[in-house]
Amino acid sequence: MSGNGKITVATTWLDGCSGCHMSFLDMDERLVDLAQHIDVVYSPLVDAKELPEHVDLGILEGSISNEEDLHKAREFRARCKLLISLGDCAVNGNVPAMRNPFKLDDVIERAYRENVDLNPQIPTEGVPALLALVQPIHGVVPIDIFVPGCPPHADAIHYVLTELIAGRTPDPGRVTRFGA
Ligand code: SF4
């Protein structure tokens, strides 16, 4: 809890398209009501860029594709009491995992050389190293709540948050399905 009694929430995106965060914003005016109960203490959606040591609720979008994703997921797990896996990329790998049937070297070659017309080169600095295989988040850290969908509907995110605020355990399976 924050000093004002609100539930502290941290969010980030791993290997995703940010669409799940856009769905969060699609809660529209309901965000005003939620703001009376939650404090977003770290997120791409707010200015705070330091993940606090102790957070009530962490929300992760995207899959684990590179070293930085792995580090962020472990950091969230260590610092958040409850962790939500948000969206199909987080829950089952979805689009990022489509590279898994191919060798990593072939994927890199295809992306940085074969499909590039101007100055093709494989970056060696400034980008995190790709992992050999893409994994859903629960492949690397335990997850408490799974919210599927690509992206999950804003109503589903609202349901999960309001249930948690009410002190209940949400059952996202009632309001979600994969791919929608
Ligand atoms: S689940 Fe869909 S909307 Fe969410 S990050 Fe993945 S591709 Fe984007």
Give the pTM.
Answer: 0.94
Q: What angle do CA 88, 89, 92 make, to 5 degrees?
A: 70
Report how far residue 72's alpha carbon sits from residue 148's, in angstroms, rounded to the nearest whole number.
Answer: 20
20 lines ligand 1 (CB under 6 A): yes
- Pocket test of ligand 1: the residue of 84, 95, 135 to mutate, having most ligand atoms within 8 Å of its CB, is 95
Give me 36's structure tokens.
């009376």
Ligand 1 close to Cβ of residue 70 (< 6 A): no
Is the CB of residue 170 below 6 angstroms from any atom belonging to ligand 1? no
Question: What is the atom index within ligand 1 of the atom nearest the CA of 91?
Answer: 1
Q: What's the one-letter identity of residue 113? A: R
Instruction: Report the alpha-carbon distance of residue 135 to residue 92 in Å, rounded.
Output: 7
CA neighbours closer than 13 Å in the CB half-sphere of residue 57: 23
With a 6 Å cutoff on the Cβ, whether 93 touches ligand 1 is no
Of residues 53, 73, 67, 60, the one with CA closest to residue 16: 60
Predicted confidence pLDDT, tens digits, the chain (180 residues): 776 789 999 999 999 999 999 999 999 999 999 999 999 999 999 998 899 999 999 999 999 999 999 999 999 999 999 999 999 999 999 999 999 999 999 999 999 999 999 989 998 888 899 999 999 999 999 999 999 999 999 999 999 999 999 999 999 888 877 666
Q: Bridge-partner residues for 55, per DSSP? A: 80
- Specify the ligand 1 atom closest to the Cα of 20: 4
Binding site membership of 62 for ligand 1 (Cβ less than 6 Å)? yes
CATH for 7-98+133-174, options being 3.40.50.700, 1.10.150.110, 3.40.50.300, 3.10.450.230 = 3.40.50.700
Is the Cβ–Cβ distance between 6 and 37 less than 8 Å? Answer: yes
Q: 60: Cβ below 6 Å to ligand 1?
A: no
| Ligand 1 lined by 66 (C-beta under 6 Å) | no
What ranges do the domains of the chain cover?
A: 7-98+133-174
The residue among 36, 128, 143 whose CA lies nearest residue 80 is 143
